[in-house]
Amino acid sequence: MLELENARVIGMGNDRRVYQDPRDPRRCIKVPRYPDKGSRQNQREQRYFEGLVRRGVHDWSYVPAYHGSVATREGLGLVFDLILDDDGTTSRRLREICHETPERVGEEALMDELANLYRYLDKRWLIPSDLNDRNIVVQFREHQSPRLWLIDGISNPDFIPLATGIAWLARRKIARRYRHFLKKLMKGGMLTADAHARLERRLWGD
């Protein structure tokens, strides 16, 4: 059983706590925030990602790779790649970058990456259950354009998750949620109205 008492906490949500994996600093472990209650989000995410693995998804270029589960003293932990910048620091949330250092990601680069992230999800019909600027980080690497990563909120929480196994239904759900997400970015001042309109035309021809 893995001991996390001295591991570095890198994130905290309502349902889960995220540690840097003490066995491999390039990975993280998501565990229940309240071990006695467990984590419904972990259970749902585990089912979803194990289904992706069975489906043969191997391209983890915009979503951190899943490396299975591990028993910890805080309950079942899910192991994922940890997204790091070149200097070894944890990549920061999109919201923080856009509000604090927007010059690091220009408008055109942000639009390109938002389009790339959508096409990645659509092509592999990966359903985002909670798509917001807190669940997306911006990775900076030398001699490369900034990269967006959707680090949390991937699963299908529907009671009868038909879209999980039906491509056209999944893609319709992805498009609906992504369009709503882009509107939230515009309302939050992270996308201009012009950039939002151009992205809409680029992705859906509207």
DSSP state of 145: -
- Chain segment 104-131, per-residue pLDDT in tens: 999 999 999 999 999 999 999 898 988 9
**How many degrees, rounded to 5, is the angle at CA 93 between CA 49 and CA 18?**
50
The pLDDT assigned to 68 comes to 95
Rg (CA), the chain: 17
Distance of CA 76 to the CA centre of its chain: 20
- Strand partners for 73: none
The pLDDT assigned to 160 comes to 44
Residue with tokens 């706590």: 17
- Chain segment 131-162, per-residue pLDDT in tens: 999 999 999 999 899 999 999 988 766 544 54
* Mean pLDDT, all residues of the chain: 91
For residue 148, with 0-12 CB atoms within 10 Å meaning exposed, 13-18 middle and 19 or more buried, which class applies?
buried
Nearest to 138 by CA among 120, 171, 112, 177: 112
Average pLDDT over residues 72-93: 95
Nearest to 131 by CA among 148, 108, 107: 148
pTM for the whole structure: 0.92
